[in-house]
A and B are shown apart, each in its own frame.
Chain A
Amino acid sequence: MGYVIAFMVLPIAIIATYSFFQRGQYGGIVYSLTLDNFARALDSLYVGILGTSVALSSTVTLLALLIGFPTALAITKLQPQHQNIALVLVILPFWTNFLIRTYAWIVLLSSEGLLNQGLLGLGIISDPLALLYTPGAVVMGLLYAYLPLMVLPIYAALSRIDPSLREAAIDLGASRFTALRQVVFPLAIPGTLVGCVFVFVPSVGNFIVPELLGGGKTVMVGNLIRDQFLKARDWPFGSVLAMAMVVMLVLLFALQARITKRVLGQG
Chain B
Amino acid sequence: MTGVGKLGWVLAAVCFFLYAPIAIVIVMSFNASKIPFQWTGFSTRWYSELFANASVLEGLRNSLIVGVSTMILSVVLGVLLAIGITRHSTSSAVQALALAPAIIPDLALAIGLLALFSAISFPLGLTTVILSHTIFCMAFVAAIARGRILQIDPALEEAALDLGDTPRGVFFRVTVPSLMPAIIAGALLAFTLSFDEFVITFFTNGPSTPTLPIVIYSMVRFGVTPEINALASLVLLFSVAIVLISQRSVKLSQSI
C-alpha spacing A242/B213, complex, angstroms: 24
Residue of B112, B220, B223, B229 touching A12 (CB-CB under 8 A): B112
Q: Which of A164-213 contact B (CB under 8 A)?
A: 176, 201-202, 204-208, 211-212
CB of A74 closer than 8 Å to a CB of B: yes
Q: How many pairs of residues, A versus B, come closer than 8 Å at their CB atoms?
A: 190
User: Which residue of chain B has the shortest Cβ distance to A112 in the bound complex?
Assistant: B37
C-alpha spacing A245/B235, complex, angstroms: 32
CB of A122 closer than 8 Å to a CB of B: no
Distance of A202 from chain B, by nearest CB (Å): 6
User: Which residue of chain B has the shortest Cβ distance to A105 in the bound complex?
Assistant: B21
Distance of B22 from chain A, by nearest CB (Å): 6
User: Which residue of chain A has the shortest Cβ distance to B198 in the bound complex?
Assistant: A99
Whether A101 touches B115, Cβ cut-off 8 Å, given contacts A106-B224, A207-B107, A208-B199, is: no
B105 & A11 in contact (Cβ 8 Å cutoff) = no
Whether A4 touches B81, Cβ cut-off 8 Å, given contacts A97-B235, A225-B107, is: yes
Dominant secondary structure at the B interface = helix
A97 & B107 in contact (Cβ 8 Å cutoff) = no
CB of B65 closer than 8 Å to a CB of A: no
CB of B239 closer than 8 Å to a CB of A: yes
C-alpha spacing A207/B111, complex, angstroms: 13
CB of A88 closer than 8 Å to a CB of B: yes
Interface residues on B, range: 35 or more
Distance of A263 from chain B, by nearest CB (Å): 19
C-alpha spacing A102/B228, complex, angstroms: 13
CB of B149 closer than 8 Å to a CB of A: no
Inter-chain pairs besides A7-B131, A74-B11, A144-B18, 4 sampled, C-beta below 8 Å? A97-B216, A147-B17, A201-B103, A239-B111
Give chain A's interface residues, CB within 8 Å of chain B: 1, 3-5, 7-12, 14-15, 18, 67, 70-71, 73-75, 77, 86, 88-90, 92-93, 95-108, 110, 112-114, 117, 144, 147-148, 151, 176, 201-202, 204-208, 211-212, 222, 225-226, 229-230, 235, 238-239, 242, 245-246, 249
Q: Considering the complex of A and B, which 5 residue pairs feature the smallest CB-CB distances, nearest first?
A: A11-B112, A205-B105, A74-B7, A104-B21, A74-B11
